[in-house]
A = this chain, B = another copy of it.
Amino acid sequence: MKLYDCATAPSPQRVRIFLAEKGIDMPLVQVNLRDGEQLGDAFREINPDCTVPVLELDDGTRISEIFAICQYLESQCPEPVLMGKNALEQALVSMWNSKIEQHGLAALAETLRNRAKGMQDRALPGPLNLAQIPQLVERGRIRTEAFFDRLDGQLKDNTFVTGEQFTMADITAFVMVGFAGWSRISIKDRQQNLRRWYDAVSKRPSTTA
């Protein structure tokens, strides 16, 4: 197996941390997003949706979309469990991962992509060139700050996002908080549960992956 990666982007970082937690070592193929390599013909053959990460299996089958990649890796290398030990835990990991993607990561991508000078006509990832919409910059910030409060509430009675076990939902949330820093959105003093959780997760060696 190998992973199409971009060392500077938040999405593939989620899979790299997942791999590090599992102790899986595999070749990482760097795709230069800054220079638009993901939009070139060669990479479109790998993923027509022009995003990284992409997991390529030894038979050439390619899996894009992060949750799908992690599901597959979990099946091939079950320990340590990162996606739930039983059906209910699995559903809660999936549920929280989806909420963090929609209300955190997607909101932050709106803020960044609709503001950055280097992303004109790249308001969304993918093959379409779409103009920036300035109103989305502030809207993304409002949504993210509200979601930080939501996550803080969830962490009030839980050590990790879905309970007492570190899971993929924590990886997604950790990357989300780091990505928020790109837009100078940080954990507020009132969000003490989120702060406690973030400090604890930051100490895991995998988070430098």
Contacts and interface: CB of A to CB of B under 8 A. Distances in A.
A72 B98 contact: no
A142 B90 CA distance: 35
A139 interface: yes
Given A49-B99, A128-B146, A68 B87 contact: no
A71 B84 CA distance: 12
B128 A98 contact: no
- The complex is assembled from copies of this chain, and their number is 2
Interface residues on A, range: 35 or more
Contacts of A153: 48
A208 interface: no
Nearest to A154: B48
A131 B136 CA distance: 10
Contacts of A71: 87, 90-91, 94
A91 B72 contact: yes
A94 B75 contact: no
A92 B127 CA distance: 21
A95 B88 CA distance: 21
A193 interface: no
B135 A139 contact: no
Contacts of A61: 88
A127 B17 CA distance: 31
A2 to B, nearest CB: 16
A63 B92 CA distance: 7
Interface string A84-107: 000110111011001100010000
